[in-house]
Structure 1
Amino acid sequence: MPWSRISGSVSSPQVDVVIDMGNPFLNLTLDGFLKIGTVAASRALAEDAYHIVRKGSISSNDFEKTLKKMCKEGAYWGAIAGVYVGTEYGVERIRGTRDWKNAFIGGAVTGAIVSAVNNNKKDKIAVDAITGAAIATAAEFINYIT
């Protein structure tokens, strides 16, 4: 009886772009901006591609709208990531240790800044700071598990 075996492995793709700004803080901030900005732009592209396929046709207006959305989403989420990464790195340098507390503080500061920039009131800024801290801390704990 014929018998065969298939073996393989799956690994996540890794893309590293290194831009040396001459300062570790700026390097990490820019790296966060570029990586998360690219993910956000890709998500916007995929979402619009889905809607175009469902519609069944594409126009130059659709293309222009998608491109603008990609740039807007990429810049927005990239800026948030840059603020978070930069804040976490700054806290790490000030405290002199690398632990979950840096992620907690970085997330809280980033959540508060993003909320304040969006002209939210004090209560909403506090809630967004707590949310940012919780998400960043949870992500840090998940990184320790894996």
Structure 2
Amino acid sequence: MPRTSINGKVNLAVDLGDPFLNHVVDGFFKIGAVAVGKVAVEETYHVVARGSVSKKNFEHSLKKMCKEGAYWGAVAGLYVGMEYGVERVRGTRDWKNAMVGGALTGALVSAVGNNNRDKIVLDAITGGAVATAAEFISYLT
């Protein structure tokens, strides 16, 4: 079961009874939390730059945090699920799983955005390249 630790103080364990679902939900929460933090920092910067805080600005920031967190969490959950599924089908754990998972995720996210076929293929290539690069970098650390 995946475990998420934040600064060594908060430990969140998710167990849905299925390893695939556990990985997907764990990826959703991890990257969703990063996206929420990113938006929170950006919105704080904008408030400081404007020099004023209003209820409307606060509500807008909160909605943006939720939207971005859900979007990036969903994309991350999709990627983690794809990579895990490819690993299970292939029966091995290596960089190729990341490449195929990233390509499938890139293609699906692009297709949902109603892009044309060429854009979907380019997004699949980009997804596979980014996922493979991230996997190679993780081997170095």
Same fold (TM over 0.5): yes
- In structure 2, the CA distance between the partners of 1:86 and 1:16, relative to structure 1 (3 Å rule), is farther
- Give me the whole-angstrom Cα distance separating, in 1, the residues matched to 2:14 and 2:99: 27
> 2:79 is matched with which residue?
84
Matches of residues 12-31 of structure 1 in structure 2 within 5 Å? Answer: 13-14=7-8, 16-31=11-26
- Give me the whole-angstrom Cα distance separating, in 1, the residues matched to 2:11 and 2:103: 27
* Richer in strand (by share): 2
In structure 1, runs of 5+ residues without a counterpart are 1-11
- Give me the whole-angstrom Cα distance separating, in 2, the residues matched to 1:52 and 1:65: 12
- Give me the whole-angstrom Cα distance separating, in 2, the residues matched to 1:17 and 1:105: 29
Matches of residues 1-146 of structure 1 in structure 2 within 5 Å? Answer: 13-14=7-8, 16-146=11-141
Q: Look up the equivalent residue of 1:140 and give its one-letter code.
A: E
Q: Which has the larger radius of gyration?
A: 1
Give % identity: 64
- Give me the whole-angstrom Cα distance separating, in 2, the residues matched to 1:131 and 1:16: 33
Q: Look up the equivalent residue of 2:127 and give its one-letter code.
A: G
- Give me the whole-angstrom Cα distance separating, in 2, the residues matched to 1:57 and 1:51: 9
Q: When the two structures are aligned, how many residues end up with a matched partner?
A: 135
User: Offset at 1:107?
Assistant: 0.2
Q: Look up the equivalent residue of 2:7 and give its one-letter code.
A: P
User: Offset at 1:16?
Assistant: 4.2
Q: Look up the equivalent residue of 1:131 and give its one-letter code.
A: T
- In structure 2, the CA distance between the partners of 1:71 and 1:16, relative to structure 1 (3 Å rule), is same
- In structure 2, the CA distance between the partners of 1:91 and 1:108, relative to structure 1 (3 Å rule), is same
